[in-house]
Structure 1
Amino acid sequence: MLDIDVLWDLGALGTQDQATQGNYTYLYTFSEQSHWQLRLLILGSYSGLMEQTLSRTSAVHKSSIAQNNLAHFNRTNWPPWRHPHLAFFMNVTRLQRILDRASSKRITVIGDLMLDEFVWGKVGRISPEAPVPVVEVTSESFYPGGAANVARNLREFVDHVAVIGLLGKDRSGQQLRELLAEQKIDVSDAVENETFRTIVKTRIIARHQQVVRVDREQPAGPSAAQMKQVVAAVRKSLSRTDAIIFEDYGKGFLMTEVVSQIARDAREKGKLVAADPNPRHSVDWRGVTVVTPNRAEAFLAAGIPWRDPDEAPAQDVELKRAGEALLKKWETKYVLITLGEHGMMLFQQEGPPHYIPTKARQVFDVSGAGDTAIALFTLGLACEATPVEAAEIANHGSAVVVSKLGTATVTRDELIASFKNDAKR
């Protein structure tokens, strides 16, 4: 049972209640209505815009409460200025309660495995051979990438994470195995191919900016025997698994046949299944629990011509059309569309669309932000968070990650700090 209070702006109903007029502040009113306990609060108002309602209740954000718009209910029998609004407040105590459930979860990530290489350097001159900068290399670093980065993000919170994908029997494949082993991520069911070259993405960074990216890859899928091996491995551990995440970078490992079999088995056992799709790679995602495309991927998958947004996401008609179309196309409970610097939009089979503004204050590197989003949204749902709560957690986590250079993750302490900092604004 969630600790939830619905707190109403009584004065806006025309009662002229003294609690919200004159002598008493909103802080007093909401504290009194919630019996002076800061929990998960829902603030409702029949007057003004959401922004006005939130600005008048800034005092309520003390004690580490975070905010954002939960819903806007339109009724044709209400004039425009009398539409009720709900604001969502999740305090840190509630967040910690959700995260406390995480360590015991078991999550399997299936998808395209990559090795992310970062070459760090400095630029002091332009090449005499061509109008390009000369980067003097100072250091190199390597991180698990692709589906392996999703697993790495989960490992910050979860004790048991397994990752399944295709690796080559080469130096890069061995290096990726070693990196995953160092972080105690189970890679025992990954399949190997002697002719496959492990995917490596090399980013050259100078002055905190990416100069160029070099991709070494040969998209290829598993053999029929290897597909059977993957399905058998997942089935063997499914009873002990809480969630499965498909991470598709369009490199060929994920195929409809494998996805459908695993998703069907997982649904039959009541397991959570999430997918981060690549619309340029034809995979049927019908029946998974949640799909998390970015805006461009969502429009492509929904068959809607791309255009740059002219309005805020909450008023973006084409975005809403794409989200609703994908709910039907993929027959999924949730579609979480990531919007880069604009935040996220959650679409649900039951309930209105929910816009989550970005929490990012600094953006240094967007590498892997989508991996963080699907990892934390899925983890939140697995830990019994509501879809809106899970999206909030994913949004805060992504904001932390893009403030770092390199393929990064977010820790529990960083996530909690993000909520606390947001409450102070």
Structure 2
Amino acid sequence: MVDHYIWGAAKRLSPEAPVPVLSAKNETVTPGGAGNVAQNLLQLNARVAIGGLVGNDDAGRALVKQLDDELINTAGILVDPGRPTTIKSRMMAGNHQLLRVDKEVTENMNSALEQQLLAGLEKELEAADMVLLSDYNKGVLSPSFTQKLIRLCTKKRKKVIVDPKGLYYEKYSGAYLIKPNKRELAEAAVVEGIANDKELDAIAKKMLAKIKCNYLVVTKSEEGLDLISKKEYHNFPVKANEVFDVTGAGDTVFASLGYFLAIGLDIKTACELANYAAAVAVSKVGSVAVTIDEIAAIAAQNKK
């Protein structure tokens, strides 16, 4: 997935419609989705191998080249000629997002690509300490493929953590941890909303009872995150001094959790450090990778 930003200023309304006119100054293109997760892991000094699909187009080739240039192992990325590379274009007036335009095809990949992708990922598993599944409902992590991959990881004794999407969390059964945000959890639980932490704890425990999973980590944007198991509930309140943009903060939390668990930290410590990472991420504009030094700095500041 590609994150495309058009930056500029909006100082007047269009005479054609009641919308602002963006005077574009420059554009930036960065890896989005699982690519953003990979970049976050890279900034945490992890060695990263990534798998997925891109289209047979300039955007896909540029994305793979950028990841290659950053020394991310892209052997698991396949080309699907039947879909374009997913591009999210955001129109930014200063730090304010005016509009987002998505270019994508979200049908499930065909069985041949599924088998090829699974075989490629199996080759990378031997060297892996942790497997992160970043689901964006773009056609890769279908229920059948997700279960095949989780069973393969379980067979090889590799923990799987999931950043979910959609309503069918049963497809993540067997994962060690699932990290929805509060809105996503409400949608998956088929409730209108979650009013407070007591409701969140009850809904999360019901979800855990439905799926074979050790933990839910529920991110709450600028409010921090919660860790829930079948018997425990822990709240990690927000650590940010300022909140400018929550774009990509979920990816930062997800990557941080994966990294800190992979190096052997316990789940509570991993959540605490991931919460600090999120605090750094929301203080910046756009999808940004957070470094160990930045996490250490904000952790030290909050310990005072």
Partner residue of 1:267?
A: 154
* AA in 2 matched with 1:395: N
User: Structure 1, residues 139-191: CA drift from partner, whole Å, max 9, x if none?
Assistant: 11011001111111101123420111110011111121122122211112211
Counterpart AA for 1:306: E
Q: Quick one: distance in 1 between partners of 2:194 and 2:259?
A: 31
Q: Residue deviations 1:93-119, cap 9 Å, x none?
A: xxxxxxxxxxxxxxxxxxxxx100011
SS of equivalent to 2:162: strand
Matched, 1:258 2:175: no
Structure 1 position 207, deviation (Å): 2.5
Partner of 2:285: 405
Q: 2:192 matched to which residue of 1?
A: 306
Matched, 1:363 2:217: no
1:322-351: per-residue Cα shift (whole Å, max 9, x none)?
A: 1101222221111101111211110124x5
Distance across 1 between alignment mates of 2:50 and 2:156: 20
Which of 101, 112, 121 in structure 2 is aligned with 1:234? 121
- Check conservation: 2:36, 2:251, Cα contact below 8 A: yes
Aligned to 1:157: 44
Equivalent-residue separation in structure 2 for 1:204 and 1:383 (angstroms): 38
Q: d(CA) in 1 for partners of 2:96 and 2:54?
A: 30
AA aligned opposite 2:193: R
**Structure 1 residue ranges (4+ consecutive) displaced by more than 3 angstroms after TM superposition:** 280-283
C-alpha distance 158-263 of structure 1, shift in aligned 2 (>3 A): farther
Taking the TM superposition and a 5 Å limit, the aligned residue runs for 1:22-421 are 114-280=1-167, 284-303=171-190, 305-307=191-193, 309=195, 311=196, 313=197, 316=198, 318-349=199-230, 351-421=231-301
Q: In the comparison of the two structures, how many residue pairs are matched?
A: 304
Distance across 1 between alignment mates of 2:81 and 2:168: 24
**Structure having the higher Rg:** 1
Q: Judge conservation of contact 1:144–1:176 (CA < 8 Å) in 2.
A: yes
CA distance in 2, matches of 1:403, 1:282: 31
Q: Which moved more, 1:363-372 or 1:288-297?
A: 363-372
Q: Check conservation: 2:90, 2:101, Cα contact below 8 A.
A: yes
Instruction: String of CA shifts for 1:372-415, please: whole Å, max 9, x gaps.
Output: 11111121111111111011111111111111112111011111
1-structure distance, mates of 2:158, 2:33: 23
Which runs of 5 or more structure 1 residues have no equivalent in the other structure?
Answer: 1-113
1:60-95 residue CA offsets vs partner (Å, 9 max, x unmatched): xxxxxxxxxxxxxxxxxxxxxxxxxxxxxxxxxxxx
**Native 8 Å contact 1:255 1:283 kept in 2:** no
* Kept in 2: contact 1:344–1:355 (CA 8 A): yes
CA distance in 2, matches of 1:381, 1:196: 34
Deviation at 1:283, TM superposition (A): 6.0
Question: Secondary structure of 2:117's match?
Answer: helix
Distance 2:292 2:73 in 1: 21
Q: Provide the C-alpha distance between the structure 1 equivalents of 2:232 and 2:169, rounded to a whole number of angstroms.
A: 29
SS in 1 for 2:35: helix
* Structure 1 residue identity aligned to 2:214: K
Shift of 1:223: 1.6
Q: Is the 8 A contact 2:168 2:188 kept in 1?
A: no
Query: Aligned partners of 2:239, 2:179: CA distance in 1, in Å?
Result: 18
User: 1:266 & 1:193 partners in 2: Cα distance?
Assistant: 24
Q: Distance in 2 between matches of 1:413 and 1:405?
A: 19
Q: Displacement, 1:416?
A: 0.5
Residue identity opposite 1:391 in structure 2: C
Letter in 2 for 1:387: I
Question: Do 2:169 and 2:211's aligned partners in 1 also have CA atoms closer than 8 Å?
Answer: no
- Say if 2:170 and 2:210, in contact at 8 Å, map to a contact too: no
For residue 282 of structure 1, report the CA deviation from its aligned partner.
6.9
Structure 1 residue 307 displacement after superposition: 2.5
- Are the equivalent residues in 1 in contact too, given 2:49–2:124 (CA < 8 A)? no
Q: In 1, Cα distance between the equivalents of 2:22 and 2:207?
A: 44
- Alpha-carbon separation, structure 2, partners of 1:385 and 1:374: 15
Cα contact 2:194–2:200 (8 A) shared by 1: no
